[in-house]
Chain A
C-alpha cells in the first residue's frame, strides 16, 4: 500500500487496529475513571471476582468488536475534487471537503504511533467548525505520498503554470535547525515570570486537592510552615525567590526541549515545513499562500543572544488554533530577514511613519492597573508604614510598565502591508498584507469619544490585530483604506 490511489476507497494501515483499540481504552477510562476509583477504593467489591472478571472480559470483547468495525468502516478517497472520509458503523459519518478548501495537511506522531512506526494525518480546513478530518494510522511513506498528492491537487488551480517546473524536483532548503546549544539559549530567554505563575497556580491547585484528602495533616504542616515563614523572614523570602527562579528556569528548559527538540524549518517551493518534538513528533506544513500573518518577537535576553521568536499564522478552524503551533523560537536576524523577504518582498515598511498610540493609552492603562488598585487599598494604607512603601512602589512599577506598553505600541503602513508593534519588556511585531484583511472593526468607548480617540481591530483568517487609542479621524481613514484594499483585491487570499 505504498502508492496512494485515491480514486478507490482506502483504509488506514493495519496497525491502526492497535491505535483504535488503545484509543477505545483511553476514552473508556476517561468516561469511567470516577466509577473505577470508587470500585477500587471499596475493597469488598473487588472480592466478587465472579462479577468483575466476566465484566472485564465482556468489555474487552466489545472493545475488540468496536475496533474491528471501526477499522473496517473507515475509508477515505477523492471523488469529484472532494476529499471524502467515511467513518462510523452505528452512526455513519461522511465528511467531505473540496480539495481547494484544504488549508494545510499535517502529520503527527505520539509515543504509541512512534512505536508502531505510523503517523497521524490531519487535514485542516478554515472555518466550518466541528469537522474532524483525521486519519490515525498511516505508514510514514504512504502518508508523505498522500499529503504530497493532496497538496498538488490543492495548489493545481492557483499555480497551474508552475506545476510543470516543480514536478521535476522539489527544491528544499533548511532555513533553521536548532542544536542543543540553541535550545539552551531559548530556554534561558523564555518568559520566566509567566512560567513561575503557571507553576504557582498549578501548585496551589495541587495543594488544595491534597489538603482536601489529608485535611488534618495538611493543617498541621501548613501551621508549621507558617511558623517557619514568620520566624525566618527576609532570608526565607530571598530563598523562595531564588528557588522559584531556578525551578522556573528548569521548567522552561524542559518545556523547550520537549517542544523543540530536533527542530527544523524547511522551505520548499510551495510551503514551509516545521518538524520538531521530543516525545510527540509533529510535522506541520504551511503553504505559502495560506499564511495570513507573520510575527517576530524578542525580549532583553533574546536580544542579548540575538534571537527572535517567529510565528506563522495561517487560516485554521477555531478548535485547531491552539494545537497548531507553527512557530520557531530561535531565529537569527539573518534568518528573520530571509523569511520576511520571502513573505513580503523587499522591506517597504521600515522607512514608513510610525503612528503611535495616543498618550491616553498610557493614562488609561496606568489608571486601571496602578491608581485604581491603590485607591481601593487606601483604607489599609494607614495601618502599617510598609503598605505605604508598597503602594508607592506599585504605582511606580505599573506606571513604568504602562509607559513601556505605550512606547512600543505603534503601527506602520504602506500601500500593500501593515506592521503593528506591541510589548512592554519584550517587543513583538505582527505583519500582514493588506488584501488579507477580512473584516475591520472600529471601536470607540464613551471616554474615547470625548477625546476624539478610537481603537481599531483588523481581522484576518488567522486572528486579529488591534491598534488601540489612535485619533478618531485616523481610525476612520484606516477603516476606509483597509476595506478599499480588500474590496479591490483580486488575489487568492487563502
Chain B
C-alpha cells in the first residue's frame, strides 16, 4: 500500500461568502418589527393594569414603579437590539445558492444550495400586507431544521425571487 495522502483538504481559491455583499432588507420591514414589538408590550402592559383592577391587590407605589420601569426598560432594550440588529440582517443570492444572515449578539449565516430546495413560498402577514412586504420561505427535505425564511422583501421582489428559484429547482429535477 503506497502512502497516498491528499493534503489539500480546504482549497483557498473557492468562492467565499462575503458578509459585506449581502443585500439589506427593506426599511419598511423595520417599521413592521417595531410596531409588532410595541403591540406586544401594549398587551403586556394592558394585562398588568387589568390584573391590578381585577385582583383588588394594592401593591405599594415602589412596586408599581419597579414593574413599570422593568417593562419600559425591556421595551427599550428590545427596540434597541432591533434597531442595531437590523443592518446586520440581509440576504444574498449567488449563482448556486441563497443565504440569509442575522443577529448582533448571536450572528448566524445560513446558506442553502438551489439543488437542495424542495419548494418555495411567498407569505404575507396582516401588518406586512399594509406595507406591501412579503416573506420568502424556502423548504428543504426532511423537517424544518434547514428551512430558511427571508422576511422584509418588497412584494414584487419576493415574487421575482420565487419565480427565479422555482425555475432553478425545476432544472435540478
Chain A interface mostly helix, strand, loop or mixed?
mixed
Tell whether A38 is near chain B: CB-to-CB under 8 Å.
no
| Residue numbers in B under 8 Å from A463 (CB-CB) | 142-143, 145
Tell me how far the C-beta of A129 lies from the nearest C-beta in chain B, rounded to whole angstroms: 8
| Count class of interface residues, chain B | 35 or more
Q: Which residues of A contact B32 (CB under 8 A)?
A: none
Q: What residues on A are CB-neighbors of B143 within 8 Å?
A: 127, 129, 316-318, 321, 463
Contact indicator B142/A481 (Cβ below 8 Å)? no
Across the interface, B14 reaches (CB within 8 A) one of A352, A464, A484, namely A484
A334 at the interface (CB under 8 A from B): no
Binds B, one of A376-384, A399-407, A440-448: A440-448
Complex: A438 Cα to B17 Cα, angstroms: 16
Is A119 interfacial (CB-CB < 8 Å)?
Answer: no
Q: Is the interface of B mostly helix, strand, loop or mixed?
A: loop
Cβ A414 vs Cβ B146 within 8 A: no
B110 within 8 A of A: yes
Which residues of chain B from 67 to 114 have any CB-CB distance to chain A below 8 Å in the complex? 96-97, 104-114
The tally of residues in A whose CB lies under 8 Å from a CB in B reads 47
By a CB distance below 8 angstroms, the chain A residues around B116 are 437-439, 486, 493
Stretch from A54-62, A206-214, A218-226, A472-480 forming part of the interface with B: A472-480
For B106, B114, B116, B148, which residue has the most chain A Cβ atoms within 10 angstroms?
B116
B84 → A minimal CB distance (Å)? 12
The complex places the Cα of A489 from the Cα of B106 at a distance, in Å, of 31
Asked if B106 and A443 make an inter-chain contact with CB atoms under 8 angstroms apart, the answer reads yes
What residue of chain A has the Cβ atom nearest to residue B18's Cβ?
A: A476
Taking the complex as formed, is A245 at the interface, i.e. its CB lies under 8 A from any CB of chain B? no
A443 to B101, CA, bound (A): 10
Residues in B whose Cβ lies below 8 Å from that of A413:
9-10
A415-B9 in contact (CB<8A): yes
Q: Are A483 and B142 in contact (CB under 8 A)?
A: no
Query: B1-42 interface mask toward A, CB cutoff 8 Å, 1 = contact, 0 = none?
Result: 000011001111011110000000000000000000000000
Contact of A441 among B15, B108, B139 (CB under 8 A): B108
Cβ-based interface call for A255 (8 A): no
Instruction: Digitize A108-139: 1 where CB-to-B-CB distance is under 8 Å, 0 elsewhere.
Output: 00000000000000000011110000000000
A461 in contact (CB, < 8 A): yes
Verify if B135 is at the interface (C-beta below 8 Å from A): no
The 22 sampled A-B contact pairs (Cβ below 8 Å) are A127-B140, A127-B142, A316-B142, A352-B9, A353-B9, A413-B10, A439-B112, A440-B110, A442-B17, A442-B108, A443-B108, A444-B107, A445-B105, A446-B105, A463-B143, A464-B145, A474-B10, A477-B12, A479-B17, A483-B96, A483-B97, A487-B114
Closest 7 CB pairs of A and B: A461-B142, A439-B146, A438-B116, A459-B146, A318-B143, A487-B96, A126-B141
Report which B residues bind A (CB closer than 8 A).
5-6, 9-12, 14-17, 96-97, 104-116, 118, 139-146, 148
Other A-B pairs beyond A127-B118, A439-B140, 5, CB < 8 Å = A129-B143, A316-B143, A438-B116, A477-B10, A483-B96
A-side residues, CB < 8 A to B, are 126-129, 292, 315-318, 321, 351-353, 413-415, 437-446, 449, 459-464, 474, 476-481, 483-484, 486-487, 489, 493-494
